[in-house]
Amino acid sequence: MLLTIVTPCLNRAEYIEEAIQSVLNQDYSEVEHIVVDGGSTDGTLDILGRYEHLKVISEPDQGLYDALNKGILLSKGDVIGHLNSDDLYAENVFGEIMRLFESDPEVEGVFGGAIVFEEFEDGSRKKIAEYCSDHLTRLSFDNITLGNPIINARFFRRSVHERVGLYETKYKIAADREFLLRVALGNIKWASVNRVVYLYRQHSGSLTFNPKSPFVIRRYEEYVDIAERYLGGSVPCNELATKCLLWHTRETMEAALRAMKRRDLGKAMEYASRGCKYKQSWPALFFWYLLLKSVRKILRGLETVSSSAGSKRNNPNL
């Protein structure tokens, strides 16, 4: 059984080689690795050229999900996985994943855990977050909307894309969530491996795992738009409606708060209006949301002062 890994890439000379090596350092040999490059100019293509086994396409695209769609359409694998050009797979995970597919032809998805790490100049790494419990890895509406979808730790049979479709490229950041909602609504049979299979690297260019990303505002817009798609018409199931309403409320509040910080009151009112359309109590919830944020900020400040005072007591030379 052939496994295809699709890697979208643009100017990732700093990280791409480690990503490639993480595919090579596996315990499963029937692997097709497709790299869809958007026209790199930083030496990425030179690195890719060193690996003859890679299938490389380099041409302009419309972003991450357009590149993934190209790779999926060109793939020959029975199972498809996605590897970002700045991330890597954990060692020796493909064998266990593919055995689950091979042992049950009805299984259309196999999911594992993931961690987010930060790398420092000296090469050391620090784990920032971990998504490895059964609750966090399952294909649930809760994880897809309110949680982290960790789509790169999910592997699907080709049949899933043939039935559900590809990624919606109008969403530049949240197309993974929109795709997974369609998959979850299809009630596919899936299995899981109780281990970390994927490592997300947090850095200044990260789309989703960088809290200071310049794409934060767009992310809120896309989240709200997807939620409204399911809230505006006939909702397929009550659970999805409940999760999308919670998701919509949270994202409109956060987006309104961001707009207020930028002193863009027009945009803040727009998000408030969108929130009120589906949740009449939105203004009251927003007030408590601001109050909670303020209390947390004060408590963090007190902890900092207390920590500083303790350091001074322990070191009289300060």
This prediction has a pTM of 0.89
| pLDDT tens-place string over residues 20-42 | 999 999 999 999 999 999 999 99
Contact call for residues 61 and 67 (beta carbons, < 8 A): yes
Contacts of 43 (CB under 8 A, 6+ apart): 13
Q: How far apart are CA 268 and CA 253, in angstroms?
A: 9
Q: Chain-wide mean pLDDT for the chain?
A: 91
Whose structure tokens read 């029937």?
30
Q: How far apart are CA 300 and CA 298, in angstroms?
A: 5
Cβ–Cβ contacts within 10 Å for residue 218, how many? 15
Report pLDDT for 108. Answer: 98
| pLDDT tens-place string over residues 112-135 | 999 999 988 888 899 999 999 989
Consecutive 10-residue runs of the chain (318 residues): their mean pLDDT?
Answer: 97 96 97 97 96 96 95 98 97 98 98 94 90 93 95 98 97 96 95 96 68 77 95 79 95 95 94 96 94 81 62 56
Cβ–Cβ contacts within 10 Å for residue 216, how many? 17
Long-range contacts formed by 311-315: CB under 8 A, 24+ apart? none
Report pLDDT for 309. Answer: 56
Whose structure tokens read 């994880």?
143
Report pLDDT for 211. Answer: 55
Domains and CATH numbers, the chain: 3-202 (3.90.550.10), 216-296 (no CATH)
Q: How far apart are CA 12 and CA 242, in angstroms?
A: 39
